[in-house]
């Protein structure tokens, strides 16, 4: 039996001569891609949600009427790699799976057929995850063959803006999305993504020393022309700094908040990142749990991961508040840290060595470099005297 044929835009409205209608549907598809992020986040009020769901239902009906409804194997379906949201808490998936179990699938999902025989989700990722949890083998689906007029990164940026405004995108998803957007806008950052947070932090420190930090709150909400004038006149030390600020301010994000609260999440241990994606744990709680490192616990990395997993599980199961988690982390550290001063002494030296090695000299002004050189010189002389005495 021949495989079902994907439905293209032109098939929805006939052949040539109706290109205006084709263009209208293309535009509507692109708008829906961004708006779907809001629907997934649950950020819309009841009236907005009902209107958007109606639009999706109409598109689904058009596709079903033209190309039919098909049973698609769940194993052949992949989530949309171009949407910023990657966090789907288990509780939300379980809630939808119970609805599917009780009432069945009322509306087909929309998928985009791929050349290799697989399908990318356009709409319905929560139902797909819920059906997988139930052990279903297939889902009803309609096909959409996208004939894009915009590149994927432009659509991704639209999804990101929508997600930011909905204030429901998890901070970890936002951090990853910003790195991707900055890298797309300025390709010279490719393979150097880890330098973006460091470059931003260096610029913020310099603004703080020069007293320019207070300007960011106003320029963040200024119009595009005012932001451009500020970016060109403020005096960035490196062009990379200006490019990063341009992206953040263009999204009306405060660079200080991104530097202090968002980008640090990229350095979380992978186990905590996974917990965020599956449990939706708040970023503030994840940052607190990340303090349970091998170094702080004075145990091996394997042991530290096990301890962190146990504490994290307790925090989730008992629905602990941030204050309670802070107390739990503090108590856990006390419990595992050794009190033997002879074993602690070497760690002081190790931390000092690491601190010196991690100094980013390019972030330090010229006059402060001289002060640092003199301080290190004095300390070196002191060390030499101690070695000589011993």
pLDDT score of 140: 93
CA-to-CA distance for 244 and 224, rounded, in angstroms? 15
Q: What are phi and psi of 122, to 5 degrees?
A: -95, -40
Q: Decide which of 158 and 200 is more confident.
A: 200
Question: Is 32's pLDDT higher than 60?
Answer: no
pLDDT score of 24: 46
pLDDT score of 359: 77
pLDDT score of 44: 47
Instruction: Mean pLDDT check: name the lowest of 1-10, 96-105, 243-252.
Output: 1-10
CA-to-CA distance for 312 and 286, rounded, in angstroms? 9
Q: How confident is the model at residue 378 (pLDDT cuts 50, 70, 90)?
A: confident
* H-type alpha helices, the chain: 9-13, 19-41, 46-67, 90-103, 125-134, 152-166, 171-185, 195-210, 215-220, 224-233, 239-250, 255-257, 270-279, 283-289, 294-297, 301-317, 322-336, 341-357, 366-389
pLDDT score of 340: 39
pLDDT score of 158: 60
pLDDT score of 10: 39
pLDDT score of 170: 86
pLDDT score of 363: 67
pLDDT score of 76: 95
Question: Is 309's pLDDT higher than 90?
Answer: yes
Cβ pair 23, 31 in contact under 8 A: no
Q: C-alpha dihedral over 250, 256, 257, 262, to 10 degrees?
A: 90
């Amino acid at each position: 039996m021949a495989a079902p044929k994907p439905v293209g835009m032109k098939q929805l409205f006939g052949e040539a001569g109706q290109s205006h209608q084709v263009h209208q549907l293309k535009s509507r598809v692109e708008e829906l891609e961004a708006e779907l992020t809001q629907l997934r986040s649950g950020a819309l009020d009841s009236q907005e949600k009902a209107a958007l769901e109606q639009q999706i239902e109409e598109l689904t009906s058009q596709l079903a009427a033209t190309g039919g409804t098909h049973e698609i194997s769940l194993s052949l379906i992949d989530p949309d790699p171009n949407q910023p949201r990657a966090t789907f808490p288990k509780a939300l998936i379980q809630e939808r799976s119970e609805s599917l179990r009780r009432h069945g699938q009322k509306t087909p999902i929309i998928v985009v057929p791929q050349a290799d025989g697989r399908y990318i989700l356009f709409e319905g990722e929560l139902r797909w995850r819920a059906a997988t949890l139930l052990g279903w083998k297939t889902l009803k689906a309609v096909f959409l063959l996208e004939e894009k007029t915009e590149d994927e990164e432009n659509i991704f940026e639209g999804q990101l803006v929508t997600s930011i405004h909905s204030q429901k995108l998890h901070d970890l998803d936002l951090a990853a999305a910003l790195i991707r957007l900055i890298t797309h806008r300025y390709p010279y950052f490719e393979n150097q993504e880890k330098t973006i947070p460091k470059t931003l932090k260096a610029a913020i420190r310099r603004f703080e020393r020069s007293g320019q930090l207070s300007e960011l709150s106003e320029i963040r909400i200024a119009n595009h022309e005012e932001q451009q004038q500020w970016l060109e006149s403020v005096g960035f030390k490196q062009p990379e700094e200006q490019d990063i600020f341009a992206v953040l301010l263009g999204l009306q994000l405060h660079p200080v908040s991104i530097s202090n609260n968002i980008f640090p999440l990229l350095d979380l241990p992978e186990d905590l990142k996974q917990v965020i994606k599956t449990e939706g744990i708040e970023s503030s709680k994840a940052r607190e749990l990340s303090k349970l490192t091998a170094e702080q616990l004075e145990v091996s990395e394997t042991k530290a991961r096990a301890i962190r997993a146990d504490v994290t599980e307790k925090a989730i199961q008992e629905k602990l508040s941030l204050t309670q988690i802070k107390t739990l982390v503090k108590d856990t550290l006390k419990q595992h840290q050794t009190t033997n001063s002879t074993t602690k002494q070497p760690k002081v030296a190790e931390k000092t060595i690491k601190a010196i090695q991690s100094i980013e000299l390019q972030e330090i002004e010229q006059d402060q470099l001289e002060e640092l050189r003199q301080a290190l010189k004095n300390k070196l002389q002191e060390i030499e005297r101690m070695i000589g005495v011993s």
